[in-house]
Structure 1
Amino acid sequence: MNAEITRVIRSAQQQIAAQAADNRFLELLEAGIVSRERLRRLAGELYPLVLSDRRSFALLASRFPTAPAGDLWLAMADGEGQALTLLLDFAAALNLTERQLRRYEPTPAAQAYPAYLAQVSLYGTRSDVALALLANVTESGGCSARVADALQSTYGFDDKAVGHFRFFADTPPSLVDQAAATLATGLSDGDDPVAAVRTARMVHAYESMFWNTLAGR
């Protein structure tokens, strides 16, 4: 990465670190005091979120079809499709069918994140979402890994049931490289780095809102 890309990523990470707070849902999950009904709620909230994110990345691919951006967004849309299939395994472990997931009534605060991503995908630049991915990938992946670990060690879920969370726990280096290349291309073409940093910070805030909502905060 060149110096400008590194500077923008660090700026976003610094702003994210300044607003970071404990993930109460994870704390409750690791303590073994999240009820099965709340886990069913987690599956219910994730279902429309993944569907929305898949559409958002497909929209970005249609807006920015040339490489490296187009390749990145198509890969991410495909990844959301895989994540959706894996989510159904988690739901099945909770005795939830896909029909029940479709009928679940989502919580507005939990769905603020995918709504914001959809907005950025429609109106933002290629740099906005690329930087959000780069700045949040470590924390987001770590969160997913901790969810999977807790579900297995504390709640007894098997590998198949936690596949959705393992999938997001490990972002392929090739995807990170594509995001960095997309950010570099966007900034060189005139994308606003200040707006991109703002987007990364907002994505982090909305992801935190998702988990805090599930924790009952």
Structure 2
Amino acid sequence: MQQDLAPQDDDNRLVPLVRDGRAPRAVLAALAAEEHRIVASDWRSFLTLAGRATDEPTREFFAGLAQGEGVALKALPVLASALGMDREAVRAYRPQAGCQAYPAYVAWLALNAEPADAVVGVVANFAAWGQYCASIAKALRSQYGLDDDACAFFDMFASPPPEAQEQALAAVQAGIDAGRVTDAAREYGRLFQSYELMFWNTLADQAG
């Protein structure tokens, strides 16, 4: 499913701008501010899905994702600061609907989706998100002069631990074995990718 739903290289309009050093630092700062809200929301959504799951692999998968979001949230202030935004500026930032549609959808899934279907939808987005983060992390160093501490947020998602992939596969298999994976799973995966691209391209529109 990852391959079937993967976006094309030119669908994400922000990553090439960052890769070439053409994205203004203000846009990157906005990205960090948006992520403060996204990560906090996704953390709660994944905990909700873990609580609703009826099998151990699915519970462990979403609990692991929530734990990762908690770690990521701690890395964001360093990134924002490196891009010129202190904590007060992050709090004062006005988020954009096109960026916040993604966590709003994850929150909807947390309340409405069969957790087994939600696993498939989340996993379908793993590869694209990881590739974007890897490209951004590399460009922040080479084009914008950020250090390892500032890039830790993107590094984390660019190279997820092997156990995360193992948990994902175990959760998907558990859902299939129990007959809880439905046709909705592919729809969730498609919408995940659409909202992912909406996030990046909303920011790309700011780059001019």
Contact 1:125 1:186 in 2 (8 A): no
> Separation in 2 of the partners of 1:13 and 1:202?
15
Give the aligned partner of residue 8 of structure 2: 20
Deviation at 1:190, TM superposition (A): 2.9
What per-residue deviation string (whole Å, max 9, x for no partner) do you get for residues 115-154 of structure 1?
A: 1011011110122232123322222111100000001000
Deviations 1:36-74 (A, max 9, x none): 211111111111011111011111111116411111111
With 54-63 and 93-102 compared, the bigger mean Cα shift is at: 93-102
TM-score for both structures, normalised by structure 1: 0.88
Corresponding residue SS for 2:144: coil
Say if 2:130 is the partner of 1:144. Answer: no
**Superimposed CA distance per residue, residues 133-190 of structure 1 (whole angstroms, 9 cap, x where no aligned partner):** 3322222111100000001000100000010000010122211121121122223323
Does structure 1 retain, via aligned residues, the 8 Å contact 2:49–2:62? Answer: yes
Question: Counterpart of 2:101?
Answer: 112
- 2:189 corresponds in structure 1 to 200
Aligned residues of 1:59 and 1:121 also touching (Cα < 8 A): yes
Matched, 1:70 2:43: no
In 2, Cα distance between equivalents of 1:211 and 1:179? 25
The yes-or-no answer on 1:214 pairing with 2:203 is yes
Structure 1 runs of 4+ aligned residues shifted over 3 Å read: none
Distance 2:187 2:3 in 1: 11
Name the residue aligned to 1:38: 27
Q: Which residue of 2 aligns with 1:130?
A: 119
Aligned to 1:101: 90
Q: Once structures 1 and 2 are overlaid, which stretch shifts more, 113-122 or 176-185?
A: 176-185
Name which of structure 1's ranges 65-74 and 26-35 shifts more when overlaid on structure 2: 65-74
Normalized against structure 2, the TM-score is what? Answer: 0.92
What amino acid is aligned across from residue 121 of structure 2 in structure 1?
A
Q: Percent identity?
A: 39
Secondary structure of 2:98 counterpart: coil
